[in-house]
Amino acid sequence: MPLPRLIITGSSGFIGKRLLDGLKDRYEVVGLARRSQSRCGAPRHDNISWVQTDVGDRESVAAAFRMIRETGGADYVIHLAAHYDFTGEDHPEYERTNVEGLRHVLDECRNLDLQRFIFTSSVAACRFPAPGTRLDESSPPDGGHVYARSKRLGEEMLAEYRDEVPSAIVRLAAVFSDWCEYTPLHVFIETWLSKAWNSRILGGRGASAIPYLHARELTPFFSRVIRHHQRIASAQVVIGSPNHTVSHLELYRLVHRYAGLDNRTPILMPAPLARVGVWGRDLMGRLLGRRPFERPWMVEYIDESLEVDASRSHALLDWQPRARLFMDRRMAFLIEHRKTDPLEWAQRNEAVQKRVRLRPNLRVHRLLEAHQEEIRRRVLAELLAGRADEGGRFRATKQVSPQVLEWRFTVAWRHILNSVRAQERGLFLGYCRDFASTRFAEGVPVVEILGVLRLIERTAVAVVREDPDAAGLEAALYAHLTMTIEFGCDQVIEVYEDLSGEEIADEGRPTSVPV
């Protein structure tokens, strides 16, 4: 029998990509997102189709859903597409994406005969409960900050479509992974493990607390929402969260315990002083043009605890968050990943923030990774064409099989990617020296090795520049890709000069830096 069809809006995001991967074997999934499938690193599978769509643009949404209707319609929608940030400012995208974007999608869903439209909200849409009480499924979305207001408008909008689009409202806890990937927590960890003046300071009593949900719980949770959708009344709230919070003080102690720094005791700053400090730092940041992560809107949550009782949702869905995936059990894995693979840690955590905040080398790395198959194809095609006759530029490779050429490209490419990602060229330069020594012994002319390296650089730059996401990255491409390969070429020349005892003239070096 054909698989049920599921639409996931916001498929390029942190949660969306995980649901694509987790649900692809049980559903025919249509991913909708602003970015392309390759650029965002979303999984590929025979059961996944991708439609690049901006939910804030009515015509774009209409075209996407017209295609969906023409190819069989859909049974379920998980609506994840939303704007959020931690500035506390009323960004236009809250209205455009979170409110108008939702309306565009709901308008199109009226003609799909859906079994269920699942709207993803957040426990943070609700006001923090009074001490000694907990949020539950009946709590109103009455939070005061701009993100909460946009989610309240979204939840209210579902009632307008109740008769045409049966829905469910999912309020999630703060979602994290073993690589962190939750911005406030990442900021805490980096600050607490730094040598900064504020590395030991906690606001108030350190009692600020929220619930956390591990990313591995997303697929089981949403699977149960879909499976048991008939148990859920239209526009009913279900909560995806453990009945468990972790305070800043607890987090601080866990971070230092697993980092081997148990002796670093926190300094608890009284809430009034902490508020003054946050306001003062923000004012200074405004003057200097570099505002800190902590913003004035956050001070009202000092020592507030977002306690949750999701027991009714757990029973309704026959689902229970696993204790081994609670934050206090997983912090050891977060700190271990930070310690053993700091580059992956940094890249993942920068990627979940606004993309414009990615360091230029990581943006270049992402583009090179996304387009590596096209780069490989073009490079190998030119190599094979260039050795086709005796006058070919790469005739020394004539005895090398295409499979070996592809393998050699793959090895060189991995070294290039690692150099761009880490901003450390040492491994690539070592590879070039070793490769040059071997090829010299085989009698390969130095000009051919330099030609291959520069072919890779030239092709990679050409392919990446075809991507709209590369706009403004010309100087970064030169600094992190072109110059990395040029340093490699210099090592090749040096090896050949040392082994041959002859000076080598090189006319292929770039002479100007792009402006």
Of the pLDDT bands very low, low, confident and very high (cuts 50, 70, 90), residue 88 is confident
Token pair for residue 87?
């500035």
Q: For residue 476, give its domain range.
A: 362-500
Residue 387's pLDDT is what?
62
Q: What is the pLDDT of residues 172-216, one digit of tens each?
A: 999 999 999 999 999 999 999 999 999 999 999 999 999 999 999
Hey, what amino acid is at 385? Answer: A
Residue 509's pLDDT is what?
60
Closest CA to 64 of 115, 10, 4, 25: 10
Token pair for residue 450?
């330099």
d(CA 441, CA 172): 62
Hey, what amino acid is at 267? Answer: I
Average pLDDT on 343-368 reads: 78
Which range, 55-64, 184-193, 345-354, 388-397, has the best average confidence (pLDDT)? 184-193
208 dihedral zone (left: phi>0; alpha: psi -120 to 50; beta): beta
Q: Is-contact 267 202, C-beta < 8 A? A: yes
Angle between helices 58-70 and 102-109 (to 10 degrees): 30
Of the pLDDT bands very low, low, confident and very high (cuts 50, 70, 90), residue 392 is low
d(CA 16, CA 24): 12
Closest CA to 497 of 446, 431, 422: 446
Q: Residue 364: pLDDT above 60?
A: yes
Residues written for the chain: 515
Q: What is the pLDDT of residues 146-170, one digit of tens each?
A: 999 999 999 999 999 999 999 999 9
Residue 179's pLDDT is what?
97
Q: Residue 1: pLDDT above 80?
A: no
* Residue 42 domain-assigned (yes or no): no
* Residue 204 domain-assigned (yes or no): no
Residue 48 CB-density burial (10 A; 0-12 exposed, 13-18 middle, 19+ buried): buried
Residue 388's pLDDT is what?
53
Cα 42 off chain centre by = 10
* Residue 223 domain-assigned (yes or no): no
Residue 405's pLDDT is what?
87
Q: Which of 118-132, 344-358, 447-461 has the lowest mean pLDDT?
A: 344-358
Sign of the Cα torsion 226, 231, 237, 243 reads negative
Q: Residue 358: pLDDT above 60?
A: no
**Sheet of 5-9: strands edge to edge?**
48-52, 28-33, 5-9, 76-79, 116-122, 167-172, 236-240
Closest CA to 141 of 160, 127, 129: 127
Determine what percent of the chain is predicted with pLDDT higher than 70. Answer: 95
| The model's pTM | 0.74
* Residue 420 domain-assigned (yes or no): yes
Q: What is the pLDDT of residues 234-281, one digit of tens each?
A: 999 999 999 999 999 999 999 999 999 978 899 999 999 999 999 999
Q: Is-contact 342 259, C-beta < 8 A? A: no
Closest CA to 134 of 207, 205, 214, 211: 211
Give the C-alpha distances (Å, rounded to integers) separating 291 from 87, 198, 286, 321, 413.
10, 15, 6, 37, 38
* Residue 410 domain-assigned (yes or no): yes
Angle, vertex CA 57, rays to CA 54 and CA 61, nearest 5: 70
Average pLDDT in the chain: 91
Q: Residue 85: pLDDT above 90?
A: no
Residue 391's pLDDT is what?
52
d(CA 213, CA 172): 8
Contacts 24+ apart (CB under 8 A), 26-34: 26/223, 27/3, 27/76, 28/2, 28/3, 28/4, 29/5, 30/5, 30/6, 30/68, 30/74, 32/7, 32/8, 32/64, 32/81, 33/9, 33/81
* Residue 4 DSSP one-character state: P
Token pair for residue 343?
């580059």
Residue whose pair of structure tokens reads 């909708």 in the numeric block: 32
Hey, what amino acid is at 294? Answer: E
Q: Which of 93-97, 101-105, 356-360 has the lowest mean pLDDT?
A: 356-360
Q: Residue 335: pLDDT above 70?
A: yes
Q: What is the pLDDT of residues 44-65, one digit of tens each?
A: 999 999 999 999 999 989 999 9
Determine what percent of the chain is predicted with pLDDT higher than 90. Answer: 72
d(CA 106, CA 486): 53
* Residue 348 DSSP one-character state: H
d(CA 293, CA 191): 11
Q: What is the pLDDT of residues 428-478, one digit of tens each?
A: 999 999 999 998 998 889 988 998 999 999 999 999 999 888 888 899 999
Closest CA to 406 of 445, 376, 439, 432: 376
Residue 139's pLDDT is what?
96
Residue 510's pLDDT is what?
56
d(CA 5, CA 113): 12
3-state secondary structure of 138: coil
Q: Residue 127: pLDDT above 90?
A: yes
Q: What is the pLDDT of residues 283-320, one digit of tens each?
A: 998 888 888 989 998 999 999 999 999 999 999 999 99
* Residue 305 domain-assigned (yes or no): no
Angle, vertex CA 168, rays to CA 127 and CA 81, nearest 5: 75
Residue 507's pLDDT is what?
64
* Residue 18 domain-assigned (yes or no): no
Residue 511's pLDDT is what?
45
Residue 512's pLDDT is what?
45
Token pair for residue 182?
């939750």
Closest CA to 351 of 45, 41, 92: 41
Token pair for residue 92?
């236009």
3-state secondary structure of 48: strand
Sign of the Cα torsion 367, 372, 374, 375 reads positive
Q: What is the pLDDT of residues 494-505, one digit of tens each?
A: 999 999 998 887
Residue 304's pLDDT is what?
95
Domain count, the chain: 1
* Residue 213 DSSP one-character state: E
Angle, vertex CA 332, rays to CA 331 and CA 336, nearest 5: 115
Residue 469's pLDDT is what?
80
Residue 356's pLDDT is what?
38
* Residue 60 domain-assigned (yes or no): no
d(CA 242, CA 320): 8
Q: Encode burial over 256-286: b for 16+ CB neighbours within 10 A, e otherwise.
A: bebbeeeeeebebbebeebbebbeebbeeee
Residue 471's pLDDT is what?
85
d(CA 423, CA 430): 15
